[in-house]
Chain A
């Protein structure tokens, strides 16, 4: 199987317009900037809700987490306020926080393992049903 990262883009309409990145291959230190760059370009052209379809992403290292972190912060910055920061802190404390602007769809077991090891599952909502993922924004 080709491990080179491939990202294809589609768009869905829920309560808001959603940009979907379909990732395939391996997300590592050689490819994470590709994801980051593509997310920035989408943001610069108006994308504010991003769903990452990970069901064909075979592998992700901490470089991929770094890209997710940067994307999370970038998307959140458009709406961040002292009130939303406070709400986020409370949500993290009581386990109810759900990321409003970036969500993940069906990470593979190995990728989910990495997300959980680094605690990213606390910040990034994970869905196993695509329609529910779209409706959750």
Chain B
């Protein structure tokens, strides 16, 4: 069973569904349980959305997403060729401020950090950015998806 899987895709909002499907299918193949699959889907979607909207500012570009199982740890690498930007350094919105007094939006990276154990940014030597999302101990101990289990 492959422990690495990579998607290269044009960075457009219309491709977010394809990105999510790649993450959910690959995570399931790697043996991740359904609850975590949903959370991984969310985390990668948030990162990809940021790249599309803020990194490339909806101009042309590509995103590369690699899921890699390393023992009991899952690492997801999200790479782009957008201008250098570290989203992990941006302050999150003040969630103690009431909804009617704060600006909408700005929750993408906050949610990603809540879902993953670590979110790390590095600049790529060839230009662009890489975000490394890591979740430890998420494997259920079986490679079967929920629907493959006989009842």
Contacts and interface: CB of A to CB of B under 8 A. Distances in A.
A63 B98 contact: no
A70 interface: yes
B95 interface: yes
A72 B46 CA distance: 22
B65 to A, nearest CB: 16
A28 B45 contact: yes
B17 interface: yes
B100 A76 contact: yes
Interface in A74-122: 76, 80, 85, 88-89, 92, 109-110, 113-114, 117-120
Nearest to A61: B45
Nearest to B50: A29
Contacts of A66: 104-105, 107
Interface stretch (B1-9, B34-42, B79-87, B133-141): B34-42
Interface of A is mostly: helix
Contact of B111 (A88, A92, A118): A118
A48 B96 CA distance: 27
Contacts of B20: 3, 26, 28, 59
Interface string B53-91: 100000000000000000000000000000000000000
B99 A62 contact: no
Given A72-B100, A80-B100, A26 B39 contact: no
Interface residues of B, number: 28
Interface residues of A, number: 31
A118 B107 contact: yes
B111 A62 contact: yes
A92 B98 CA distance: 8
Interface in B1-54: 13-14, 16-17, 20-21, 35, 38-39, 41-42, 45-46, 49, 52-53
Contact of A62 (B16, B17, B108): B108
Given A59-B42, A61-B108, A118-B95, 8 more contacts: A3-B17, A3-B20, A28-B20, A30-B17, A69-B104, A85-B100, A110-B42, A118-B111
Which 7 pairs between the two chains have the least Cβ-Cβ distance?
A30-B13, A69-B104, A110-B38, A62-B107, A29-B49, A3-B17, A66-B104
Interface of A: 3-4, 26, 28-30, 59, 61-63, 65-66, 69-70, 72-73, 76, 80, 85, 88-89, 92, 109-110, 113-114, 117-120, 123
5 contacts: A28-B17, A73-B104, A88-B98, A110-B41, A114-B111
